[in-house]
Every structure is written in C-alpha cells, then in structure tokens.
Amino acid sequence: MKMKKRLSLLSAAMGLLVLAVTCSGVKLQAADGFAADAAIGVALPWIGTQNWAEADEMFKTELKKAGFKPIVQHADNKVPQQQQQIESMIQNGVKVLVVGPVDGSQLGAVLEEAKAEGIYVVGYDRLLENTTAVDGVVQFGSVKTGELQGQALLDGLAKLKGKGPYNIELFGGGPADPNAPNFFKGAMKILQPKIDDGTLKIVSGQKEFTQCATLDWDNSKAQARMDSLLSGFYSDKEIHGVLSPNDGIARAIITASEQAGQKIPVVSGLDAENESVKWIWEGRQYSTVAKPTDVLVGKTIEIIKSLQAGKGLPAPDTTTPNGKKDVGLYELAPLVVTKEHEKEAFANDPGRLELLK
Ligand code: BGC
C-alpha cells in the first residue's frame, strides 16, 4: 500500500516536471551552475544614504575580485529607471540579478522576464513583493531593527530625560520601501505598551505609519514635518524623544529641534552613517543601528558563488510571505549602538573608529 502510494506520488511529480518543461517554454535554471566569469547584475534603488553608496562601491570591487563581471547601477529612487536598468541587465546576459527595489511591489513584470531567461533573482536589503520571480532575499532582520530602535528610544529616555511621562513623536521611512513599515511595526511592538500605560505621550496624536512615513526617505521632508510638529504642538512643551527610522532623518529631526530652541531630544537611527557616528560620540544623537554593508554584500556574494558552482541556493534562515509566495530569507542580526559601547561596536571598522576622537 505504502509503496504504491509512494510510486503514484513519484509518477505524479514526474508528470508535473515533464509538464513544466514541455509546456512552459521557460529556460530551466542551470542546476550545474554557470561560467565563473559570468556577468552579475546589481540594481540598487539610490545612493542617497551611506549604506547604498557603500553597496554600490563594494559590489563593483568584490564581484570583480570573485572573478565575475559586475554590472552595478542605481536608479535615483525612480521606478521606471530601475525597470529599464534591469531590462538592460537581462539583455546583457547576467546570470544573477541582485535587486534592492525602489518600490518593493513594482518589479514583478521585469523580474518574471528575468526568470523566463533562467536568471536567478536575489533581493538585497529590501523584500521583493507580489511576485513569484524571486529566489531569496538577503537582509538584516527588518522587524528586529525596529525593535532595537524602539528599545533604544525607551532606554535613552529613562537615562537622559528623568522619570517621565515623556513627550514623543514618531517618524517612519519611505512608504514604497517594504522595510519602512517593518521597522515601524517592530518599534511599535516595544513602544505601544508604554503608550498604553501613559509613560509615552504622542503629543500630536500622529501614530499611524501612513501619518509618520517620510516620502522617498527624503531628509528635507522629515525636517519640514518636524518643524511643523514643533511649531504646532510644542511651543509651550519640551519634546523628549523621537523615533527615527534612519540616521539621515535622525539628523534632520535633531537640527529642527535645535533650531526651534528645544533641548536635543533622544533620537534613534539606523545605518551607522559616518556623520551620525560622530553625532553619537558628541552626544547629539542617542543611538543608531549598525547593519554593516560589507557583511551584507559578503553574504550575497556567497550565495552567488554557490549558484555559480551548481550547488543551488544555500538553505535560508527563515521565510517571509511577499504577497505571492513564501520567500527564503537570509537574515543577519543588526546591532544597536550608543555612545556607551561605540568604540567596542566599531572595533573592526577602522574608518568609523577613526571618527571617535
Ligand atoms: C535601508 C536603510 C536605508 C533606507 C534609506 C532601507 O531600505 O534598509 O538602511 O537607510 O533604505 O535608504
């Protein structure tokens, strides 16, 4: 009985395979790998924050060092530009496409085209949404990043702003970036109980992601929102803390607060950008979250090498739903950094260590 069942399952599976091969007309991905000097495409969203500028540089050098031909481009935050860049990478015969999307859900058609050519598609830093044409995503845990930001804000308030209750405001990142709602969600997991018990007061009442998001991660838009929050709600009040989704927005929030004559609030961040590494050292910004670009690029190249050698995709750490499928996630651990252990955190990063003087 058992044997029969197994046999029929096996033949059903074979049937499906034959069907897939004969009907699809789709090129199968080479299970035996591809040339060691193949072209690899890297499509980045922009280079407006340090992490993406570093990725742009590092992919060019590290892919070359590994023997590949890198085609690395960034799209100035414009969806059509990124679609065209990916089209041209496909035409140039790349074997793997590494994609940090401008908008997580706008690349389905062009990525499906890539898949039809037998190209592997790996999401970099950001999730690729609403498409089956993705083989895996490499990133630092995005909800975890938000949790670290929320916890840092709470810790900083307790440390620097007395007993509370504390007046705070919330900022989110670019709404097209799938990381942004996840960062916010992670932070709210930590902050919500403290809002509910009255420890935290969001004076403006703006607590939904859509109210707090910063279009295109644009620092000047965040600064304008902070200016109007301060003039609208804080003319007779101190602002004690602000949740910020990254370092550029953190510096915009701090600058607006200084200009409004406020004492500097406790502000979270992300990326360990050089400028913020200095501000933390000087006590101007409270925290950041480090997600080292070299580690993320290194992990991506490890995956590309495995595909090149015909070993397929390494086993992912976990999966996440993208609207169309559960995507394998290679998830690295982000690290919160405050002044207290800043030297320790950058012990292996001479460039950043140099800034702590
Ligand atoms: C990245 C952040 C970056 C932001 C804006 C996000 O997807 O994870 O590191 O600050 O994009 O560029």
**Whether residue 217 sits in one domain with residue 121:** no
**How far is the centre of ligand 1, averaged over its atoms, from the C-alpha of 159 (Å)?**
28
Q: What's 148's domain CATH number?
A: 3.40.50.2300
Q: How confident is the model at residue 29 (pLDDT cuts 50, 70, 90)?
A: low
Positive or negative, the CA dihedral 318, 348, 49, 241 is positive
Ligand 1 within 6 A of CB of 217: yes
Q: From atom 9 of ligand 1, which residue's Cα is the shortest distance away?
A: 271
What average pLDDT does the structure give for the chain? 93
- Span between the terminal Cα atoms of the chain, in Å: 75
What confidence score (pLDDT) does residue 27 get? 52
10 in a structural domain: no
Positive or negative, the CA dihedral 136, 89, 291, 130 is negative
Ligand 1 within 6 A of CB of 179: yes
**Whether residue 192 sits in one domain with residue 305:** no
**How far is the centre of ligand 1, averaged over its atoms, from the C-alpha of 25 (Å)?**
38
Task: State how far the Cα of 163 lies from the Cα of 152, in Å rounded to an integer.
Answer: 16
| Pocket-testing residue among 128, 179, 273, 329, ligand 1, by greatest number of atoms within 8 A of Cβ | 179
**Whether residue 323 sits in one domain with residue 197:** no
Query: Torsion over CA of 53, 77, 189 and 281, rounded to 10 degrees?
Result: 30
What confidence score (pLDDT) does residue 160 get? 98
Q: Is the pLDDT of residue 298 over 70?
A: yes
Average pLDDT over residues 314-331: 97
Q: Which amino acid is residue 115, in one-letter code?
A: K
46 in a structural domain: yes
**Whether residue 273 sits in one domain with residue 190:** yes
What confidence score (pLDDT) does residue 321 get? 97
Ligand 1 within 6 A of CB of 287: no
272: left (phi over 0), alpha (psi -120 to 50) or beta: left
Q: From atom 12 of ligand 1, which residue's Cα is the shortest distance away?
A: 49
* Per-residue pLDDT tens digits for 213-270: 999 999 999 999 999 999 999 999 999 999 999 999 999 999 999 999 999 999 999 9
The residue range of the domain holding 316 is: 30-134+293-332
**How far is the centre of ligand 1, averaged over its atoms, from the C-alpha of 196 (Å)?**
29
11 in a structural domain: no
Q: Is the pLDDT of residue 20 over 70?
A: no
13 in a structural domain: no
Task: State how far the Cα of 133 lies from the Cα of 135, in Å rounded to an integer.
Answer: 7
**Whether residue 300 sits in one domain with residue 283:** no
Positive or negative, the CA dihedral 38, 29, 26, 124 is negative
Q: Which of 13-27, 112-126, 277-291 has the lowest mean pLDDT?
A: 13-27
Task: State how far the Cα of 240 lies from the Cα of 233, in Å rounded to an integer.
Answer: 13
Q: For the chain, how many structural domains are there in total?
A: 2
* Per-residue pLDDT tens digits for 181-193: 999 999 999 999 9
Average pLDDT over residues 159-178: 97
**Whether residue 195 sits in one domain with residue 81:** no
Atom of ligand 1 nearest to the CA of 142: 8
**Whether residue 211 sits in one domain with residue 115:** no
**Whether residue 318 sits in one domain with residue 230:** no
Indicate the SS3 state at residue 326: strand
Task: State how far the Cα of 210 lies from the Cα of 230, in Å rounded to an integer.
Answer: 19
Q: Extract the tokens encoding 195.
A: 């809002």
* Per-residue pLDDT tens digits for 115-145: 999 999 999 999 999 999 999 999 999 999 9
Q: Which pTM does this prediction carry?
A: 0.91
322 in a structural domain: yes
Decide if 356 contacts 307 (C-beta within 8 A).
Answer: no
**Whether residue 177 sits in one domain with residue 117:** no
Average pLDDT over residues 44-73: 98
Atom of ligand 1 nearest to the CA of 51: 9
Q: What is the CA radius of gyration of the chain?
A: 23
Decide if 199 contacts 161 (C-beta within 8 A).
Answer: no
For residue 244, give the nearest of 150, 332, 335 by alpha carbon: 150
**How far is the centre of ligand 1, averaged over its atoms, from the C-alpha of 179 (Å)?**
7
**How far is the centre of ligand 1, averaged over its atoms, from the C-alpha of 344 (Å)?**
24
**Whether residue 268 sits in one domain with residue 178:** yes
